[in-house]
């Protein structure tokens, strides 16, 4: 799959099946759109494209907080080897000032040469969100594409959306969030050198800085799986600032892996959070902290069925 940062850098002149949206999290609802594009791509022998709106320019302009379920790199890795293109479209003032018809003419047809436009029932586009699926249907014949509208995926009557999943994660219900995503909530990064306190206490850990703009679930301990060098290890992770041993406010993911004994400094890892164990807390002493960590490790081993 090819990654393209700007619409102007997309130069493929072939007809396409294209879907539009923020695609934050690539949850089960998004996956329905992706599956439809893939089916059309294979049936029609055309290009399969995801155009993901990068909302950061808008958030920054309005001074809004940014909490994403996934980073751009994570989205790329989830779509790789499925689509032909992932196009990241910065949601700039110029872009969002387009009228609905300008979007259809300039983007859908002018950039992507769309044969099929695949969107959800609530898709809105153009200046002041003035365009919707009825607009797309009205211009379908004039601009030579076919509209495909995909119904929303639901869970217990709730529409599965990125906002819903963010709310679920903020409550600490990582199990439900993972179900709605269709995969475990993950954190990717490079292992950095810490104070090595865990090593002296008998449980050496890996520290990864929390990615910028990524949603931080409740600070605390999670049962997790960590992939390093292509191998997945069961483990236990702490999301937080380690208040017992550190005065920094920087959020770090600190993980202890079962069955891993090598030096991991500088290596890329992926941590998947599976279950919330307990909130992060400040202990009265290192000994008290170690006693609790031993209990957390025992809990995680029971979770994974490790003797």
Q: Return the bridge partners of 17, or none.
A: 48, 116
pLDDT band at 285 (very low <50, low <70, confident <90, very high): confident
The 10 Å Cβ neighbour count of residue 267 is: 12
Please compute the mean of the pLDDT values over residues 203-229 and round it to a whole number: 93
Q: Return the bridge partners of 85, or none.
A: 2, 49
Dist. CA 213–CA 74, nearest whole Å: 13
Q: Give residue 61's pLDDT.
A: 74
Q: Give this prediction's pTM.
A: 0.92
Q: Give residue 212's pLDDT.
A: 87
CB 174 within 8 A of CB 274: yes
Mean pLDDT of the chain: 92
Structural domains in the chain, sorted by start: 2-159 (3.40.50.620), 184-304 (2.40.30.30)
pLDDT band at 194 (very low <50, low <70, confident <90, very high): low
Query: Does residue 92 surpass a pLDDT of 90?
Result: no
3-state secondary structure of 267: coil
Taking the CA atoms of 124, 125, 127 and 132 in sequence, report the sign of the dihedral they define.
negative
Dist. CA 185–CA 171, nearest whole Å: 14
pLDDT digits (tens, 9 = 90+) for 124-154: 999 998 999 999 999 999 999 999 999 999 9
CB 29 within 8 A of CB 160: yes
pLDDT band at 199 (very low <50, low <70, confident <90, very high): low
Query: Does residue 245 surpass a pLDDT of 60?
Result: no
Q: Which two tokens stand for residue 214?
A: 């990524």
Query: Does residue 98 surpass a pLDDT of 80?
Result: yes
Dist. CA 172–CA 135, nearest whole Å: 39
Query: Does residue 276 surpass a pLDDT of 80?
Result: yes
pLDDT digits (tens, 9 = 90+) for 162-183: 999 999 999 999 999 999 999 9
Q: Give residue 150's pLDDT.
A: 98
Dist. CA 187–CA 237, nearest whole Å: 11
pLDDT band at 195 (very low <50, low <70, confident <90, very high): low
Q: Give residue 193's pLDDT.
A: 80
pLDDT band at 84 (very low <50, low <70, confident <90, very high): very high
Largest CA distance in the chain: 73
Q: Which two tokens stand for residue 198?
A: 């865990």
Dist. CA 278–CA 299, nearest whole Å: 11
């Amino acid at each position: 799959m090819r990654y393209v940062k700007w619409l102007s850098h997309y130069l493929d002149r072939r007809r396409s099946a294209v879907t539009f949206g923020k695609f934050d999290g690539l949850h089960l609802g998004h996956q329905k759109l992706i599956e439809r594009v893939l089916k059309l791509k294979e049936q029609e022998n055309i290009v399969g494209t995801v155009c993901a709106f990068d909302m950061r320019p808008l958030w920054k302009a309005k001074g809004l907080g940014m909490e994403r379920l996934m980073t751009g790199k994570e989205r790329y890795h989830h779509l790789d080897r499925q689509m032909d293109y992932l196009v990241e479209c910065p949601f700039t003032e110029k872009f969002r000032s387009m009228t609905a018809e300008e979007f259809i003419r300039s983007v859908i047809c002018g950039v992507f040469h769309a044969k099929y436009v695949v969107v959800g029932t609530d898709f809105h586009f153009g200046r002041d969100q003035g365009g919707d699926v009825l607009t797309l249907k009205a211009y379908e014949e004039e601009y030579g594409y076919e509209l495909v509208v995909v119904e929303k995926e639901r869970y217990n009557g709730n529409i599965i959306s990125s906002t819903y999943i963010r709310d679920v994660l903020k409550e600490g219900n990582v199990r439900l969030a993972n179900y709605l995503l269709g995969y475990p909530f993950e954190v990717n990064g490079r292992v950095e050198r810490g104070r090595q306190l865990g090593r002296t206490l008998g449980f050496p850990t890996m520290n990864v800085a929390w990615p910028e703009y990524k949603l931080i679930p409740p600070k605390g301990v999670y049962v997790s799986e960590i992939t390093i060098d292509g191998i997945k290890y069961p483990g236990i992770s702490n999301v937080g600032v380690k208040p017992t041993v550190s005065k920094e406010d920087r959020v770090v993911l600190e993980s202890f892996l079962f069955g891993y004994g090598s030096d991991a400094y500088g290596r890329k890892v992926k941590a998947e959070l599976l279950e919330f164990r307990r909130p992060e807390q400040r202990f009265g002493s290192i000994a008290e902290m170690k006693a609790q960590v031993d209990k957390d490790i025992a809990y995680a081993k029971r979770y994974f069925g490790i003797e």
